Structure 1
Amino acid sequence: MITPEQIMTWAIPGFFLLIGIEWLVAKWRGRDVYYGNDAINSLGLGVISQIVGVFTKLFAIGIYGWCAAHLAPWTLPSNSVWVWISGLLLYDLLYYWLHRLGHEVNVLWAAHVVHHQSESYNLTTALRQTGSGFLLGWLFYLPMALLGYPTEVFAVIAIIDLLYQFWVHTEVIDRLGWFDRVFCSPSNHRAHHAVNDRYLDRNYGGILIIWDRIFGSFVEENDDDPPVYGTRAPLQSWNPLWANIEVYWAMLKDSWHARNWLDKLRVWFKPPGWRPADAAARFPKAAFDIGHARYNPPMSRPLKIYCLVQFTMMLLIGVNFLGAAPKMALSEAAAYAAYLVYSLWALGFLLEGRGVGIWLELARTAGTAVAVLLSERWFGVAQLDARLAVAMTVVFGLSAVALLFVAGYERRHSASIRPALG
């Protein structure tokens, strides 16, 4: 049987091919659907989600497998076509409710919000995934375990449902007629990602949109009210760690400040945006303005090129991590994961034009060059080939030199990173 890991291995090159095609089509049509900083942030959050998944996938799958083995009255045959078809339909229905409650319950929104933070809507948005969804998401799929769907069937179906949703995150595909009435489509999902009053909290279906029609949450995209993307509490940051904790932190603060003990609890289970009256009065927040300027800190061309090159390197290192981590000791895999997360965190500060980003990134590049040169080791590799060690030292060393050049350029030509070396 094909494994989920094999499916993802085949899918990843396809993701980037389709992203490239979408970018070219948008350019040909004269549309700006990509912003480099936003795309890097979305893909970086996808990388972090995959990193977290390496350590947590056994959590959800393990619970599912235990329930299927010990609580289900029977085990359905994994070689039955009807088991797969019914399993996919049931999974999609359960996903609908997870997704819907992810918009209606604050603690679930805290995980799901990551996917909605981008103010762009393109195929990189599809890969913008949470790092904390594993905490509660598994609860919604236990009915499949209790009905006897085998663990391997569940795991593959979950990947299929997820992969389907990739292509609907685009503005370059228009409406599709009858298809829009039955399936989740680009038009339907554009409405889902919009913050306009008309579209807010609608169209939750993963593969089928008929769940929304059945349960009253469907809305059609309207040309007179084009979707505006993002959230009603804009992230205003390229920091991937902050993106994952911002709502949790806001809930924690409101829970702490609320004087009523029931309100301290309600914060976590009320709809997003709800706040205890006393906390809201003492710590007011600005009203949402749908016409606010998108978050897009100015970046010079050298800084853009540097960030793009470094992020490409991080993607390659991330692929290496995903392949190597399952064979590594837990402590070594955790160290490798921490290195990658730190790298993306430092890059986020650079994208924001913040001076601390220079120092964090310089520590990463120069530190990596020195560490590889002196130890001739890499995570999970006890002894690097001497030529590879030299090549890595040169690449990271040159990156540090290039960073100093970029910092100097920024200091001379703009105010965006002057605090870095001044």
Structure 2
Amino acid sequence: MITPERIMAWAIPGFFVLIAIEFAVARWRGRGDTYRGNDAINSLGLGMLSQVVGIFTKVFGIGVYAWCARHLAPWQLPADSVWVWVSGLLLYDLLYYVFHRASHRVAVFWAAHVVHHQSERYNLTTALRQTGTGFLLTWVFYLPMALLGWPVQVFAVIALIDLLYQFWVHTEQVGKLGWFDRVFCSPSNHRAHHAVNERYLDRNYGGILIVWDRLFGTFIEEDDTDPPVYGTRSPLQSWNPLWANAEVYWALAKDAAHAKRWRDKLQVWLRPPGWRPADVAERFPKPAFDIAHAAFDPPLSRMLRAYCLLQFALLLLMGMHFLGLAPKLAWPMALAYALWLVFGLYVLGALLEGRRSALWLEALRVLAAAVVPLASGRWFGVAHLDERIGVAMLVVFGFSALALPWLGGRGWLHAPPPSSSQGALPG
């Protein structure tokens, strides 16, 4: 039987093949600015973080759905019927439209969804830039399917199909597609959705079908005279994956704490993003959004960028190993492996921001990865690590540790640390 795990096993290699093709096409067309290494690492790292978090939280969303389908649904639809799958996909896509629209119009939902919009580039790595906190509330929107009797196994596969479809629309290399743009979510339609230009704000929420937007009045066509500008109206200004997930929650919590009226403390979370109580806005003003602001790109040497790219590739391989191994691990060991990966993503983000303190953290990380596996013969749940793998890790991460003093000593960390509003949690 088709399972979400099997679909993802097929899809992940395809993602990276398509990213490589898009990169090559963009360079061939003279669009070298389509990709920037630090942005791509950040987007892919956030996707990896989302998958790691999902190991511990997917049972929550699926578990609630399964319980409701089993105990509250008046009937159970047959999982082997074609009409159940087709109608389920249509209903799911409609519910996704509702969820997606709410994610842009209700601040607490935006706090999770914002991660997907933070990149100031638009390419296929942006598609993989996913939230690590969506599990908290997203499940609420899909309960109608459970209550109407769609089996949990049908729901899980349909949800993944709807998500995978949306991968290919995150590109600037595909232009307008005529009739296709009028029916389906397409690259042109989704570029408009990701834009911060005034004309495009809060439009084109469809996942597979764009007809929902046409029916409910939220459709806008991409205008060649007003090219989309990407990002958010409160730019992240950081490569810290933890701050990327926390920034809006933190801003909402601060506004709620500063608000004098209890009603406003609640409204901060339920009003549209950007809404602030009058007294809070007066005491703590924020600068107006400037669509022409410079993209976040701290100066860093080519050598250090290459080092970060190499280390991220190694971390990505470890992440794939974790995803395959995690279901077999006891939760304390799975949690330890997950925290190791998150720490690695955090440190690489700090290196890309030019933080000198990151050199010490990175030295600690690579030395541990070099010494511990060979000395102990273990690696996060692998009780008997192949000695050749241990030697390979010693060589790769040992050379990495030796390179760090040279990279730091040559003055290749130029960027000043971001302020607390630009990527570090206060305190």
Do Structure 1 and Structure 2 share a fold, with TM-score over 0.5?
Answer: yes
Query: 1:334 aligns to what?
Result: 335
Q: 1:403 — aligned with what?
A: 404
Which secondary structure does the structure 1 equivalent of 2:185 belong to? coil
Q: Distance in 1 between matches of 2:172 and 2:300?
A: 25
Per the alignment, in what secondary structure is the counterpart of residue 198 of structure 1? helix
The answer to whether the 8 A contact 2:97-2:205 is kept is: yes
Aligned to 1:265: 266
- Give the TM-score of the pair, scaled to structure 2: 0.96
- Displacement, 1:73? 0.6
Q: Which amino acid aligns with 2:98?
A: W
Say yes or no: does 1:163 pair with 2:149.
no
Contact 1:123 1:169 in 2 (8 A): yes
Q: Is the 8 A contact 1:72 1:146 kept in 2?
A: yes
Opposite residue 132 of structure 2, the aligned amino acid is G
The answer on whether the counterparts of 1:306 and 1:403 sit within 8 Å (CA) in structure 2 is no
Q: Residues 121 and 332 of structure 1: is their aligned pair in 2 closer, same or farther, counting only changes over 3 Å?
A: same
Contact 1:91-1:141 within 8 A present in 2 as well:
yes
Separation in 1, partners of 2:188, 2:172: 8
In 1, the alpha carbon distance for the partners of 2:235 and 2:327 equals 36
Which residue in 2 is equivalent to 1:128? 129
Identity %: 70
Q: How far apart are residue 283 of structure 1 and its match?
A: 1.1
Cα distance in structure 2, aligned partners of 1:194 and 1:87:
30
How do residues 80-95 of structure 1 correspond to structure 2 at under 5 angstroms? 80-95=81-96
In the aligned structure 1, how far is the partner of 2:327 from the partner of 2:112? Answer: 25
The one-letter amino acid paired with 1:65 is A
Query: Could you say which residue in structure 2 is the equivalent of 1:6?
Result: 6
Partner of 2:97: 96
TM-score, with structure 1 as normaliser: 0.97
- Post-superposition Cα deviations, 1:139-198, rounded to whole Å, max 9, x if no partner, equal 000000001000000000000000000000000000000000000000000000000000
How much is the aligned-residue C-alpha RMSD, in angstroms?
1.1
**Structure-2 separation of matches of 1:312 and 1:290:** 33
1:44 aligns with 2:45: yes
Amino acid at match of 2:240: N
How many residues align? The count is 416
Unaligned runs of 5+ in 1: none
Residue of structure 1 equivalent to 2:25: 25
Distance in 1 separating the partners of 2:113 and 2:43 = 14
Residue matched to 1:221: 222
What amino acid sits opposite 1:157 in the alignment?
I
What are the Cα deviations for residues 251-309 of structure 1, in whole angstroms up to 9, with x where unaligned? 00000011111111110001000011111111111110000000011110110110010
CA distance in 2, matches of 1:367, 1:312: 18
Matched with 1:197 is 198
Using the TM superposition, name which of 389-398 and 325-334 deviates more: 389-398
The answer on 1:183 being equivalent to 2:175 is no
Q: For 2:271 and 2:285, locate their aligned partners in 1 and report how far apart those are by CA, in whole Å.
A: 18
1: CA distance, partners of 2:382 / 2:194: 43
Q: Which runs of 4+ in 1 moved over 6 A?
A: none
1:194-234 deviation digits (Å, cap 9, x = unpaired): 00000001000000000000000000000110000000000
Q: Which residue of 2 aligns with 1:73?
A: 74
Moved more, 97-106 or 360-369: 360-369
Is the Cα–Cα contact under 8 Å of residues 354 and 416 in structure 2 kept in the other structure?
A: yes
Q: Is the 8 A contact 2:374 2:387 kept in 1?
A: no
Structure 1 partner of 2:235:
234
1:347 match: 348
| Aligned mates of 1:248, 1:416 — CA distance in 2 | 27
How far apart are 1:317 and its partner, in Å? Answer: 0.3
